[in-house]
Amino acid sequence: MAKLTVNDLDVKGKRVFMRVDYNVPMEEKEGQMVINDITRISATLPTLELLTKKGARIILTAHLGRPKGKREPSMSLKPVADKLSEMISRPVQFVDDCIGEKVEAAANALQNGEILLLENVRFYAEEEANDPAFAEKLAKVADIYVNDAFGAAHRAHASTEGVARLVAQRGGQCAAGLLMERELKYLGDELSNPARPFVVILGGAKVSDKIKVIDTLLDKADTILIGGAMAYTFKLAQGLKVGKSLVEPDMVDTAKAALEKAKQRNVQFLLPSDNVVATPVKTDRLNKKGKPVIELHDHRVNGEPNIPENEEGVDIGPDTAKKYSEVISSAKTVLWNGPMGIFEDPRFAEGTFAVANAVVQATEKNGAKTIIGGGDSVKAMNKAKLGDKVTFMSTGGGASLEFLEGAVLPGVAALSEK
């Protein structure tokens, strides 16, 4: 990775315009918006600490939720400014706008090492449209641009791409923050030349979401382990019956092509040999989308290749969990994206937790580099309280997946080369 990072910058007395990911989960309690999880704020502290020490005048910009270009009080970043201030035991200034005279006055009054957080940048529709005039307005307070919001780097928005381009055009530097640098290191550099065996575990709902990643990783991995609902589309491709499992019949040919590519490349491509299955039962209750709530009854292990007509696959079975765990434990590099089953329901979480434990084993006993590629696998690791026992957990969801597919992320492309 040859992108400039905050370590390379001389920021003393300069206005550093820094894009962060403060899209934190919030909840209304007694008329106040309260932050439920501070992970994303904590993740920016190392970069903030470094820039503060170096004497930067820090202007933070971020989005929260989907206000759709309108001022939405429940999506204000003010509570985040208060929380950040509490976490670093120093004042964090806040302006209730992200462009305009008020912002310029506050930014220009900053002293070295001081921090200012701007209001939700998505209160303007021009942000997501990457409107050049809007980016100009944001860039008015930027001598240097830093991006520490990996989770938003797959979007070419004004605060992730437009501002960076303008700062670069003016001859200014655009650098990765420390969090962004780690994401690029682990999802990029470490996986481009992995220690072997390199084992990839892919799960989750849909083949269509992951097929590009599968295709890219078939060029690099020694073994690919498939779980989640995705496995049933692969089983369809093998001519097996999958009952009422979640499948994508229109992806069967794509799945066949992936199986063929695995054979040609000599990649071990494993599908579950047994499954936990359950019977879906429609109830009279309606979900938020107005559709009947389906309950899953009478779960059991199915060791047969086919799944009976009235049942659906909800998790990998114990034999598969054992086999996958063995393969994972002997790996030197592991990448995991997507749960093995409907892990939100404790009855169907065992396969996912078995994989989580095996990934930890590989890290601790085999000295493997273990990388959790974002989204629900991160949630599963945290649920199992194993998050700090792996090499790296990505903070991106969609951004991680696109990066692993080999896509160029606009927010990364816009950063200066070293």
- Shortest gap between Cβ of 210 and ligand AMP (angstroms)? 7
Taking CA atoms, 51 is separated from 54, 148, 206, 223, 277, in Å, by: 5, 12, 41, 41, 52
Among 293, 344, 364, 413, interactor with ligand AMP by CB under 6 A: 344
Closer residue to ligand AMP, CB minimum distance, 175 or 296 = 296
Q: Which one-letter DSSP state was computed for residue 96?
A: S
Stretch that binds ligand AMP, among 7-15, 115-123, 201-209, 381-389 (CB under 6 A): 201-209
Instruction: Kindly list the catalytic residues.
Output: 40, 206, 375, 398
Nearest to 207 by CA among 227, 225, 233: 233
Give me 277's structure tokens. 């299955």
Binding of ligand AMP by 314 (CB under 6 A): yes
6 close to 178: Cβ distance less than 8 angstroms: yes
Name the residue whose CB lies closest to ligand AMP: 204
Binding of ligand AMP by 151 (CB under 6 A): no
Report the distance separating Cα 376 and Cα 342, nearest Å. 10
Binding of ligand AMP by 338 (CB under 6 A): yes
Nearest to 335 by CA among 210, 206, 207: 210
Report the distance separating Cα 44 and Cα 178, nearest Å. 8
Binding of ligand AMP by 396 (CB under 6 A): no
Stretch that binds ligand AMP, among 80-88, 110-118, 204-212, 303-311 (CB under 6 A): 204-212
State the number of CA atoms in the 13 A half-sphere of 137 facing the CB: 16
Binding of ligand AMP by 209 (CB under 6 A): yes
List beta partners, residue 392. Answer: 371
- Within residues 263-302, the interface with ligand AMP by CB under 6 A covers none
Nearest to 390 by CA among 359, 353, 346, 365: 359
Q: Which amino acid is at 93?
A: Q
- Shortest gap between Cβ of 280 and ligand AMP (angstroms)? 10
Among 162, 374, 375, 396, interactor with ligand AMP by CB under 6 A: 375
Closer residue to ligand AMP, CB minimum distance, 129 or 294 = 294
Count interface residues toward ligand AMP (CB under 6 A).
16
Give me 296's structure tokens. 């899953």
Name the site residues for ligand AMP (rule: CB under 6 A): 204-206, 209, 228-229, 246, 313-314, 338-339, 341-342, 344, 375-376
